[in-house]
Amino acid sequence: MKILMISDVFFPRINGVSTSIATFRRQLRREGHDVTLIAPAYPTGHEGESHILRIPSRYVILDPEDRMMKPRRILAQADELAGEGFDLIHVHTPFVAHYAGLQLGRRLGIPVVESYHTYFEEYLFHYLSFLPRTWMRSVARRLSRRQCNQVDAVVVPSRAMAEVLAGYGVRTPMSIIPTGIHQEAFVGGDGMAFRQRMGIDQDTPLLVHVGRIAFEKNIDALLHMMVTVRRAIPGAMLVIAGDGPAMGHVRRLTRQLGLEQTIRFAGYLDRRTTLLDCYRAGNGFVFASRTETQGLVLLEAMALGVPVVSTAVMGTRDILSSGQGALVAEDDRDLSRQAIRLLSDPCLQQTLSLQARQSALAWSAREMAARMLTLYEEVRDTAQVTVLP
């Protein structure tokens, strides 16, 4: 098949959407399918790419990490794209990409599939805090319902997200297709070398967290967790890898809680090298987000044999439902109890490590790409498409 993907974000912008797109593209291309991606141009970091159309873009005022593509520059590609013989369009984000994807689909006479990656009703008010929270939730629900009902099929990464969209009134057929992981990409990693670079002793009880430093990730809960953990295990530390709009807030809270010697900030790490080292450095991986539609970082940690301590809310429920390789906290307050339990028991760490590796095997990129391809074929063969002149 020939698939045209379009997204408002992609690498070098680091987040779960970029990772999901890259994972599916890589696997589908391995299987012999042609996948072209339309994505924003960033100032640096995307030279020498293949089958990616970078669209001129401008900064987003409220989120300077992101870029806004120029819609006219996307639609100007329509005639050239029409000659490529694409079977369908897969939209990954609800901003410029959604509306441009719909117009391209109608001009090219092909169906449009859309992935719902982000739980927007629990997201937007963090960035538009000057507006009433209840109003923002209502807007997010109406917009999500309208956009999902404009496309031919919707992809969601978890059962919880499917339930949410059904509650909004989405009538478009939904398929639950999580993002898998390439197992071969999550081997190795030198945890001891990472500890040395970060100035952490090899015997220090260490927890790690990887992800975008954003308000919706609930990193505050991890900092408060460490206050309690330190009372039980005075030498325990936490590494936070990533960056984002909440970094200033997280650093201030770290100082207010007296955790300057307990927390290490590692910034963004290379996915092929230092990120693996970071995961492997931890005795456990901790996570507290309540808005994840899936939670890919949990799978990445588990694939490397790092036990997980996490709440199971929204999409993370699917990953943690087996109870293998993880200690599930009932709520934010229970995180510290589970973290202390893990750090205090080396035998438990070893048992969970083995379980985590085994559990992660069920989430292969190959299997998830096969499910996506089946959906593509069904949509291509059954969708009723109106061609615009």
Q: Give the span between the Cα atoms of 152 and 385, in whole angstroms.
A: 9
DSSP assignment, residue 44? S
Tokens 């005795």, residue located: 283
Q: Are residues 9 and 93 in contact, defined by beta-carbon separation less than 8 angstroms? A: yes
Q: Which residues contact 357 (CB under 8 A, 6 or more apart)?
A: 302, 303, 304, 305, 325
Strands 57-59 and 67-69: what pairing? Answer: antiparallel
**Tens digit of each residue's pLDDT (9 = 90 or more) over 121-164:** 877 666 666 667 788 889 999 999 999 999 999 999 999 999 99
pLDDT of residue 135: 83
Per-residue pLDDT of the chain (389 residues; tens, 9 = 90+): 999 999 999 999 999 999 999 999 999 999 999 999 999 999 987 777 899 999 999 988 777 789 999 999 999 999 999 999 999 999 999 999 999 999 999 999 999 999 999 998 877 666 666 667 788 889 999 999 999 999 999 999 999 999 999 999 999 999 999 999 999 999 999 999 999 999 999 999 999 999 999 999 999 999 999 999 999 999 999 999 999 999 999 999 999 999 999 999 999 999 999 999 999 999 999 999 999 999 999 999 999 999 999 999 999 999 998 889 999 999 999 999 999 999 999 999 999 999 999 999 999 999 999 999 999 999 999 988 766 65
pLDDT of residue 123: 72
Residue 144, CA distances (Å) to 101, 115, 141 in order: 15, 11, 5
Q: Are residues 387 and 321 in contact, defined by beta-carbon separation less than 8 angstroms? A: no
Q: Give the span between the Cα atoms of 239 and 205, in whole angstroms.
A: 11
Domains, the chain: 2-180+365-382 (3.40.50.2000), 183-360 (3.40.50.2000)
pLDDT of residue 125: 61
pLDDT of residue 389: 57
Q: Which residues contact 87 (CB under 8 A, 6 or more apart)?
A: 1, 2, 3, 110, 376, 380
Burial class of 83 by CB neighbour count within 10 A (0 to 12, 13 to 18, 19+): exposed
* 3-class state of residue 40 by DSSP: strand
**Tens digit of each residue's pLDDT (9 = 90 or more) over 70-90:** 999 999 999 999 999 999 999
Fill in the amino acid letter for 232. A
* 3-class state of residue 314 by DSSP: coil
Tokens 């719909």, residue located: 102
Q: Give the helix/strand (H/E) hosting 219.
A: helix 219-232
**Tens digit of each residue's pLDDT (9 = 90 or more) over 335-380:** 999 999 999 999 999 999 999 999 999 999 999 999 999 999 999 9
Ramachandran assignment for 305, one of left (phi > 0), alpha (psi -120 to 50 degrees), beta (any other): left
Phi, psi for residue 279 in degrees, rounded to 5: -55, -50
The CA-based angle 283-279-263, given to 5 degrees, is 70
Per-residue burial over 126-145, b = 16 or more CB atoms within 10 Å of its CB, e = otherwise: bbeeeeeeeebeebbbebbb
